[in-house]
Amino acid sequence: MSLPSVDAPGGDLVAPVGAVVLRLGGSRYAVDMADVAEVAPLPRVTRVPRTPTWLLGVANWRGRVLPVLDLRPLFATPSVPLASSARLVVVSRGDLIVGVVAEAVPGVHDADLACAAPAPPTLPADASALVTGQVADRAGPIAVLDAAAVLALRDRVDRRRGGSTAS
DSSP 68-90: EE--TTTTT---PPP-TT-EEEE
Give the span between the Cα atoms of 37 and 113, in whole angstroms: 17
The answer to whether position 149 is within a domain reads yes
The answer to whether position 162 is within a domain reads no
The answer to whether position 167 is within a domain reads no
Identify the pLDDT of residue 63: 92
Give the span between the Cα atoms of 165 and 167, in whole angstroms: 7
The answer to whether position 31 is within a domain reads yes
Q: Which amino acid is at 96?
A: L
Query: Does residue 56 carry a pLDDT above 90?
Result: yes
The answer to whether position 1 is within a domain reads no
pLDDT band at 138 (very low <50, low <70, confident <90, very high): confident
Query: Does residue 135 carry a pLDDT above 70?
Result: yes
Distance of CA 72 to the CA centre of its chain: 11
Lowest-pLDDT choice from 11-15, 89-93, 160-164: 160-164
CATH of the domain at 122: 2.40.50.180
Question: Can you name the residues that pair with 13 across neighbouring β-strands?
Answer: 7
Q: Is the dihedral of CA 151, 28, 129, 145 positive or negative?
A: positive
Q: Which domain holds residue 10?
A: 6-156
Instruction: DSSP letter for 156, please.
Output: G
Whole-number average pLDDT of the chain: 84
Identify the pLDDT of residue 24: 92
**What are the Cα distances from residue 107, in Å, to 36, 38, 87, 92, 123?**
13, 13, 12, 19, 24
Question: Can you name the residues that pair with 14 across neighbouring β-strands?
Answer: 6
More confident residue, 19 or 11: 19
Q: What is the pLDDT of residues 25-50, one digit of tens each?
A: 889 999 999 999 999 999 999 999 99
More confident residue, 56 or 116: 56
**Would residue 76 be called left, alpha or beta, if left means φ above 0 and alpha means ψ between -120 and 50 degrees?**
left
The answer to whether position 10 is within a domain reads yes
The answer to whether position 163 is within a domain reads no
Q: What is the pLDDT of residues 71-125, one digit of tens each?
A: 999 998 887 888 999 999 999 998 899 999 999 999 998 877 778 888 878 888 8
Q: Classify strands 131-137 and 140-145 as parallel, antiparallel or unpaired.
A: antiparallel
Question: 56 near 72, Cβ under 8 Å?
Answer: no
pTM across the whole model: 0.82
Identify the pLDDT of residue 161: 44
pLDDT band at 162 (very low <50, low <70, confident <90, very high): very low
What's the total number of domains in the chain?
1
Q: What kind and span of H or E run contains 144?
A: strand 140-145
The answer to whether position 166 is within a domain reads no
Question: 76 near 114, Cβ under 8 Å?
Answer: no
